[in-house]
Chains A and B, each alone.
Chain A
Amino acid sequence: KAGVTQTPRYLIKTRGQQVTLSCSPISGHRSVSWYQQTPGQGLQFLFEYFSETQRNKGNFPGRFSGRQFSNSRSEMNVSTLELGDSALYLCASCQWGGSTDTQYFGPGTRLTVL
């Protein structure tokens, strides 16, 4: 099976712009989670989608949003970018999203905000 894929791998934006990141889960996986990784804050949970519905949400401002399509692919959107949004954004997929599941991570999208 192909692993989790994320596009694009690298992105450079300027403050105030918006950005959309994409994640394609492993075939058969219906749960997709998003994480932000920064040197200062480490790995932080953004949100989790299952069957096109947001099921869990971390402590991030409303500028961070996401959605999931019927084929389980997910997108994450960040509006009005700030310098502090520069980070590695990781998505992870698993079959059902319950605690018994293991999350498999994609390679990440490196976002730089200038």
Chain B
Amino acid sequence: AQTVTQSQPEMSVQEAETVTLSCTYDTSESDYYLFWYKQPPSRQMILVIRQEAYKQQNATENRFSVNFQKAAKSFSLKISDSQLGDAAMYFCAYTKNNDMRFGAGTRLTVKP
């Protein structure tokens, strides 16, 4: 079964600085998709970034980028120039056939 592990329950970053959230996953598949979702206190899940496993190039969305290491089954999220609005729970997710598996989440605090 596919599992997703986020080893950092909580992370803290100073405003304007950079933080990296870790995620590892387990799968025997070669073609799959990985996502980072953000869940602010409103509880609305918001897509941050997605990565197709067949693409070697790391995905980037403005201040958010990933470091995708397929052989190591690692998918970390880097947030640059952190802003107060980035404070939220961040979930790493894996999907193969629309059966999405989530990690336990990392709570990110941004200090002013």
Contact = CB atoms under 8 A, between A and B. Distances in A.
Tell whether A and B belong to one assembly.
Answer: yes
A99 B31 contact: yes
B43 A88 contact: yes
Contact of A45 (B31, B35, B99): B99
A103 B48 CA distance: 12
A98 B46 CA distance: 19
A90 interface: yes
Contacts of B102: 35, 42-44
A102 B21 CA distance: 21
**Dominant secondary structure at the A interface:** strand
Contact of A58 (B31, B45, B91, B99): B99
A64 interface: no
Interface stretch (A19-27, A65-73, A74-82, A104-112): A104-112
A48 B33 contact: no
Q: How extensive is the interface on chain B, given as a class?
A: 20 to 34
A65 to B, nearest CB: 17
Given A42-B104, A42-B105, A43-B91, A99 B45 contact: no
Given A99-B31, A99-B32, A108 B43 contact: yes
Nearest to B45: A105
Nearest to B31: A99
Contacts of A102: 35, 47, 50
A28 to B, nearest CB: 17
Given A45-B101, A104-B47, A107-B44, 7 more contacts: A58-B99, A98-B98, A99-B31, A99-B33, A99-B98, A103-B47, A105-B37
A56 interface: yes
Contacts of B37: 105
